[in-house]
Structure 1
Amino acid sequence: MGWLAIVLAVVALALFGAWRYAMATNAVFLLDGADRVFGGTAGARLALRDSRYGPLAAQRIDVMVPDPAPAQPLPVLIFFHGGSWNSGSPGDYHFVGRTFARAGYVVVLAGYRLTPDGIYPHMLEDGAKAVAWTRDNAARYGGDPERVFLIGHSAGAYTAAMLSLERQWLGREGLPEGFVKGTVGLSGPYDFYPFTSDSARAAFGHVPVPETTQPIHFARGDAQPLLLLTGDADTTVKPRNSKALARAVGNLGGAVETAIVPGADHADTAMKLAAPFNRDRRVLDPVLAFLSAHGGASAPVQAGGR
């Protein structure tokens, strides 16, 4: 092994360790920094930073767009971050924005209230408001408000799934049935009652009928298409969540796909959206294929923007 290969191997190990630390401490900005270094920033531009879609401090929004921008309106992807309902912000996840902007999307990174303020159903109220903001503002950033998709990781996948399955949240914001064209959940909790984690108890433990907090409770056959992607080594949010929801929706005649990534754990399904880890395309490719099949962009993503 040459010296360059040794250096690259050491750097890769250091990055992997930094990512594990980031996930353990909710310091996901470390991963965003790695993405900037190894993937560059070319091909995507931050068009809106730390703005608001509502009056509350947590109702923040960032928008990432392709650079240069194409002439035609682009599909829009709204991303809800994870963090156990108690941490995270849109700015930590610019790597997601860069990755999907390069793939031909206007990417809306939406924050929401976190515990102790962000108890159920505040994350859903905020998520719905972010979708309504997107309807009203996507065009000014080159987005097509007729082609809006949702994606979330972990706690954010919970929000994306609930907005897709339980009609009331988007309905409260005046959004018509079918406004969202498809939803992607990455390592999401969809069937997690009884609550076994402190974070779940903090966010949902006060609800008199806890079953009504569960996405599987609202499985229906006429929802927009779903892609539920997870890793078979996920011990934080076990793969049975994705399998159970897919089975429930499928049994009702709904359009649902699952993608189980061998050897991937809870962190991996987000990590593989950032450089240099996105060279392993087992997360990105199924997501892009699903979105394209339902009206999203058809152009393949580049691994980096340099």
Structure 2
Amino acid sequence: MRRRTLLAALPFLAGCTPSLGTFDSLTPRDAGVRRVARDMAYGEGARRKLDVYAPTDAAAALPVIVFIYGGSWATGDKDDYEFLGAALASRGFMIVVPDYRLVPEVRFPSFVEDCAAAVRWVSDHVAEYGGDGRRIVLVGHSAGGYNAVMLALAGDYLRSAGVADGSIRGAVGLAGPYDFLPFDVNATRNAFGQAPDPQLTQPVHFARADAPPLLLLWGVDDDTVGPRNLESLARVQRAAGGRVETKIYQNVDHIDILIALSRPFRGRAPVLDDVTAFARAVTD
């Protein structure tokens, strides 16, 4: 019955990326994981809080994955991602899931700056919960993938937040937009339309040889974020001498790539295996 209810919810989820609350409440959790901190403030205001998940039997300082959710920079809630925190933590990582300010309260670059501030909190405090703040991997889906990759490439955001160089060991984008000029849909116009220099909103603009390694994932059936984004960023990052891996999944759309991290739907694509194998390789 539980699985049928989950399947019935999928058409709704496919039509509106922002809310995964119903799915999160129904999907089974991975065992051996607990939320060790909830609603920890990394700045002022209700949207600048984060949760921390960890394996229950961790014996040493764990590498950390900071997961940044999507929602067109306008919606999203960390409380909808307990399934994801449990999934990633079950593979031997400490997981941090922050909220961040959204449109229309803020515009670019404020949501990126909030994510940088959350990473600074991780650097300063995650050791209190058993994590290693010098071994951080940024992971994000959709708009969150943009935020994660932007932090990895445009180093001034993390530097301004006080994050030590070398703390970010890698970044993973799940169906993220990285090369999307002109701003031709409401989501990008609302989030970036006021930027004085649109080029500086694009991750492709910041390709560099000394960036942390990137893993870019995308599904062939994704009609929300097109292949140009992965292809352009991979091309310019390789041309700059940077390290980038790409994986493209057949029969996977914009939502599938995210829910494939959950226990009932891991057969759709090896997203959990690919993300955690990359994170383990760059943090060992």
TM over 0.5: yes
Please report how far the alpha carbon of residue 156 of structure 1 lies from its aligned counterpart in structure 2 after TM superposition. Answer: 0.4
Does structure 1 residue 51 correspond to structure 2 residue 40?
A: yes
From 112, 116, 129, the counterpart of 2:100: 112
The separation in 2 between residues aligned to 1:20 and 1:164, in whole angstroms, is 33
Match of 2:141 in 1: 153
1:3 counterpart residue number: none
Number of paired residues?
Answer: 283
The CA deviation at 1:281 is 4.4
- For 1:236 and 1:17, the matched residues in 2 are separated by 21
Q: In the alignment, is residue 205 of structure 1 matched against residue 193 of structure 2? A: yes
Residue of 79, 91, 95 corresponding to 2:79: 91
Specify whether residues 50 and 24 from structure 1 end up closer, same or farther in structure 2 by C-alpha distance, changes over 3 A only. farther
Alignment correspondent of 1:273: 261
The aligned residue for residue 10 of structure 2 is 19
Which of 272, 277, 280 is the aligned partner of 1:284? 272
Deviations 1:229-264 (A, max 9, x none): 010111101122011101110111111000001111
Alignment of 1:164-183 (within 5 A): 164-183=152-171
Q: Is the 8 A contact 1:164 1:223 kept in 2?
A: yes
In the alignment, the residues of structure 2 paired with residue 24 and residue 51 of structure 1 have an alpha-carbon distance, to the nearest angstrom, of 31
* Alpha-carbon displacement from aligned partner over 1:103-134 (angstroms, at most 9, x marks no partner): 00110001110110131001111011000000
8 A contact 1:19–1:30 mirrored in 2: no
Q: 1:165 Cα deviation (Å)?
A: 0.5
How much does 1:42 deviate?
2.6
In the TM superposition, residue 13 of structure 1 has moved relative to its aligned partner by 5.3
2:133 aligned counterpart, secondary structure: strand
What SS does the aligned partner of 1:276 have?
helix
Amino acid at match of 2:36: A
Partner in structure 1 of residue 247 of structure 2: 259
Deviation for aligned residue 1:12: 4.6
TM-score for the superposition, normalised by structure 1: 0.89
Q: Distance in 2 between matches of 1:87 and 1:139?
A: 30
The aligned counterpart of 1:40 is: 29
Percent of aligned pairs sharing the same letter: 43
Choose the corresponding residue for 1:250, options 238, 252, 259: 238
- Write out per-residue CA displacement over residues 196-234 of structure 1, whole angstroms, 9 at most, x where no aligned residue: 221111000111211110000111111000000010111
Distance in 2 between the 1:17 and 1:238 partners? 26
| Aligned 1:66-145 pairs, distance under 5 A | 66-67=55-56, 69-145=57-133
Is the 8 Å Cα contact of residues 22 and 29 (structure 1) preserved in structure 2? no
SS of the residue corresponding to residue 228 of structure 1 reads strand
Q: Distance in 2 between matches of 1:28 and 1:271?
A: 9
TM-score (norm 2): 0.95
Aligned letter for 1:222? D
Q: CA deviation at 1:41?
A: 5.2
Name the amino acid aligned to 2:128: R
What RMSD over aligned residues (CA atoms) do the two structures have, in Å?
1.5
Q: Distance in 2 between matches of 1:197 and 1:50?
A: 33
1:120-159 deviation per Cα after TM superposition (whole angstroms, max 9, x unaligned): 0011110110000000111111101121110000000000
